[in-house]
Structure 1
Amino acid sequence: MGYEVELKAHVKDVISLKSLLDRTEGIEGPICELKDDIYYCLDQGEALFRLRKESFGPSFSNLKGKLVFTRKQKSLTDGIEVNRETEFTSDDNQFPSAHEFFLGLGYQIYIRKTKRGYSYTLAFDDVLPPLHIELVEVLGLGWFLEMEFILEQEEKVPLARTFLLDMLTRFGLDSQSIESRYYMHLLKSQTTG
């Protein structure tokens, strides 16, 4: 179990940002990615956990993946998420069976989400782990820059938060572009009007 420290920001000029990411010194990538998520709840309540089929590869026509089961304890401060995660994985061909299993236990679909885009990794020092960066289109919501650290020690969270804000500026975005709401709530608000 680790601590996920994540920032996401709206992107208006996708082509320029992708070009900047591709030219960033020390960055690895891009890797093409496709993530299909189902969030589950009970009795129309809040989402309890997520089932994700995630696929990666050198092109969108050549993707391989896995199935990821995730439960998060979430917190949000100034648009930056700090989540404690519990995860495990399975083969992606288990997606239909896992979905049917959860429905059979009485869970309901809270919301579905699809993200498609590019994944990068940036290592910069020994204090923090590599920074995971994604430039993704969230179906129905538009393009976003996502940056996250997965930390083992909670005491590194403030340093990670500061670094994320610095990187946002480095990539030409300002604090006004930060989206402080969770994707699932943005998507849910579209379905409930």
Structure 2
Amino acid sequence: MTPVLDLAGIFVFALSGALQGVHKKLDVIGMAVLAFFTSVGGGVIRDLFIGVQPAAFRDAGYLLVPVAATVIAFFWHPQVERAMPGVLVFDAAGLGLFCAVGTTKAMYFGLAPVHAVFLGVCTAVGGGVIRDILSGEMPTLLYDRQLYAVPAMLGSTAMAVLYTLGVRGFVATLSSAVLAFAFRILAMRYGWRAPLARGMN
């Protein structure tokens, strides 16, 4: 992932974290904490599993972008809320990019494809899990009724298959990201939901 795309994805996820802080009536520090962990938490989890220093602790952009998102949400959250359909599209794009790149990095460091898929999904949804826990909500990952983790799993699996077949680089990343993005958009458009246990509504 190029730095620009990386930071764009971080910004969108940070914005969702900061807005969660607004909904929970947190102060600006609480908003910033949610913004930071929502945007970089998944990547930190991935890097710790791999055994490398998290990129979030090496580049100032990973801190400054969540701060910028917090400022925007703090002053202009009503306007951002009204623009949420557009934000959700960018969020879906970030989901696709993060799952593909997370899987690629895991395989580059020698993990088996199945483990790489797991870390790809962690990269994409891990920040949201941390956000929900910190804000006192049940993580949406545990009841994926809006099909958020499923697209990430699909994109990560595609990336792992392509990487194994020797198809790597921009084409593989873009293809996997677009697959996850498209599935997420279709799920939002048509209201697709993950099934509940038999007999449960």
TM-score range, shorter chain: under 0.3
Which structure shows the bigger proportion of residues in helix conformation?
2
Normalising by the residue count of structure 2, what TM-score does the alignment of the two structures yield?
Answer: 0.25
Higher relative contact order (CA 8 A, sep 6+): 1
TM-score by length of 1: 0.26
Between Structure 1 and Structure 2, which shows a larger proportion of strand residues? 1
